[in-house]
Amino acid sequence: MATIPKALQDVALRVARAASLAGRSADSVRLLAVSKTFPAEAIREAAGAGQKLFGESYLQEALEKMAALSGLELEWHFIGPIQSNKTRDIAEHFDWVHSVDRLKIAQRLSQARPQQKIPLQICLQVNISGEESKSGVAPENLLELAEQVRGLPHLRLRGLMAIPRPTQEPQVQREQFSQVRKLFDQLNARGFDLDTLSMGMSEDLEAAIAEGANIVRVGSAIFGQRTKSKDNP
């Protein structure tokens, strides 16, 4: 296994190459390092190599790592499923949430966001693979949810996040990401001011960047394979 700094360098190269093929600059894509299940020391190592954005999916684990790393100036993104009893801690400790898919969760996040902090930056998670996944708002309900979330005072709606059905077929990957891109364009055509498309992971970041992703969420290509457990299915 490559060291974390070397793996980060390799991912940065993949991002730059994909951006260049799409006629975009490398710095139009931000790399979110998904550190879920990996220890605080792995994050410290990545931060030492210049990585600033980290993504976590499990609240308790994330809070422990944040406390251990409080001296570092990192930007924390929550990307996992959200239960309502977790909204207070998420709103207090994170900078971004990518996985908002219902109004009730958005309302609770807005209520719990400390007033002295800037608004919590929000992406709505869209379910483009239909029945196969329970997470994410269905495309036909996206506009209504986006309108409701836009009205909440302590949130700022930034864009969309999606986790398409995994496939090795680049054409299918592109097709799925292009659906998300179309939804994003439709919202902006209706007067939204979205600037963030959070899509692409270790296996499919090239296809996502080709379709306009500007945050890619990369875990295993940076930190190595995650071991599966009952808390990490």
Ligand X SMILES: *Cc1c(COP(=O)(O)O)cnc(C)c1O
Contacts to ligand X by CB under 6 A: 34, 36, 57, 79, 163, 201-203, 217-221
Burial class of residue 49 in the structure, from the number of CB atoms within 10 Å of its CB (0-12 exposed, 13-18 middle, 19+ buried): middle
The answer for residues whose C-beta is within 8 angstroms of residue 22's C-beta and 6 or more apart is 209, 210, 212
Token digits of residue 131: 């029945």
Q: Which is nearer to ligand X, 5 or 147 (CB)?
A: 5
Q: Which is nearer to ligand X, 91 or 163 (CB)?
A: 163
Q: Which is nearer to ligand X, 57 or 127 (CB)?
A: 57
Nearest approach, Cβ of 12 to ligand X (angstroms)?
Answer: 14
Nearest approach, Cβ of 71 to ligand X (angstroms)?
Answer: 26
Residue number closest to ligand X, CB atom = 219
DSSP 58-76: -HHHHHHHHHHTTTS--EE
| Among the listed residues 180, 103, 173, 101, the one whose alpha carbon sits nearest the alpha carbon of residue 134 | 101
Q: Which is nearer to ligand X, 55 or 212 (CB)?
A: 55
How far is the C-alpha of 212 from the C-alpha of 215, rounded, in Å?
9
Nearest approach, Cβ of 79 to ligand X (angstroms)?
Answer: 4
Nearest approach, Cβ of 219 to ligand X (angstroms)?
Answer: 3
